[in-house]
Structure 1
Amino acid sequence: MAKPNKKGPTRTVDILCAKCKSPLFKYRKGGKGALVKCFKERIVTDFTTTPCECPNCGTVFGREALVRGTPAYKIIGGKAVMK
């Protein structure tokens, strides 16, 4: 499998907690599809203190995984929204 593009896309989106709307990441997302995974190398700003947990309400919004050999966060459906 091919690795994701190192430079990545230039468009940044805000990833928010679906429950309390507090910011989780500022992320360079490619394409116009749904938010399924966040590659760690594409995260511009990380507002979380512990991985995959909302700093405000404590909701677990994903899990750490290796996708195509690259560390990423797999997002649980409906737990995080993109703006």
Structure 2
Amino acid sequence: MAKPNKKGPTKTVDICCSKCKTVLFKYRKGGKGALVKCFKERIVKDFTIEPATCPECGGIFARDTLIRGTPAFKIIGGKAIMK
């Protein structure tokens, strides 16, 4: 399978915890679909202390995985939202 585009999209979105509304990442998202995965190379600014864990409420919002050979976070359904 093809790897994600190296240059990546230019539009940035805020990824927030759905429980406490804390900002987790600033992320360069491509397309207009739902938030399913976050490639680590596209994260502009990371506000988390532990990977895939909300710093405020301590909730786990994603799983660390490889997608198409690239490190990524697979978002658990309904745990993180984008603004």
Aligned-pair RMSD on alpha carbons? 0.3
Q: TM-score, normalised by structure 2?
A: 0.99
Runs of 4+ in 1 over 2 A off after TM superposition: none
Displacement after TM superposition at 1:17 (Å): 0.2
Structure 2 residue runs of 5 or longer lacking an equivalent are none
Q: TM-score, normalised by structure 1?
A: 0.99
Residues matched between the structures, number = 83
Paired residues for 1:61-80 under 5 Å: 61-80=61-80
Displacement after TM superposition at 1:24 (Å): 0.2
Query: How many percent identity over aligned positions?
Result: 77
Between the aligned partners of 2:63 and 2:38, the Cα distance in structure 1 is 10
Residue matched to 1:5: 5
3-state SS, counterpart of residue 24 of structure 2: strand
Between the aligned partners of 1:23 and 1:58, the Cα distance in structure 2 is 13
Structure 1 residue runs of 5 or longer lacking an equivalent are none
Residue matched to 1:17: 17
Between the aligned partners of 1:46 and 1:7, the Cα distance in structure 2 is 19
